[in-house]
Amino acid sequence: MDGDSRSARRRLLGHLAVVMGLLSLFAVLVAATPPDAGANIGAGIVGLPLLALGMPWSLPILIDPYRFDQWSDAAHYVLWFGPALLNVALHAVAIAVWNRRRHT
């Protein structure tokens, strides 16, 4: 394994660690706040970087977040934070393809 491959994997693991850390913190903040407590500002602040990490897939929710108001809470969470996980997966696939092409 050469230095470029290690560096790419290190960046992928860093990307994964940031996304999973933010998702975990968001889950804790949501679970710790009673549903009748009103707006959860802490969870909202933690969610903003996750939206940025999900670009460009999170763009529809950023452009018009009220379009999805009739959806369930679980669907909202998937719509808001699924793109960040998708980008981690795409990052991993890109590294695998790049390494395979480079070593053939």
The pLDDT assigned to 88 comes to 94
From residue 82, alpha-carbon distances to 17, 55, 60, 103 in Å are: 15, 11, 13, 32
Average pLDDT of the chain?
A: 88
* CA dihedral angle for residue 78, residue 79, residue 84, residue 87, rounded to 10 degrees: 110
Nearest of 95, 101, 83, 85 to residue 18 by alpha carbon = 85
The pLDDT assigned to 6 comes to 81
pLDDT digits (tens, 9 = 90+) for 61-74: 889 888 988 999 88
The pLDDT assigned to 22 comes to 94
Average pLDDT over every residue of 91-102: 87
Which two structure tokens, joined as six digits, stand for 11?
């960046």
User: Per-residue pLDDT for 37 more than 70?
Assistant: yes
The pLDDT assigned to 82 comes to 93
Backbone phi and psi for residue 90, each to the nearest 5 degrees, phi listed first: -65, -35
Task: Return the DSSP state at 57.
Answer: T
Predicted TM-score (pTM) of the model is 0.82
The pLDDT assigned to 2 comes to 66
The pLDDT assigned to 1 comes to 55
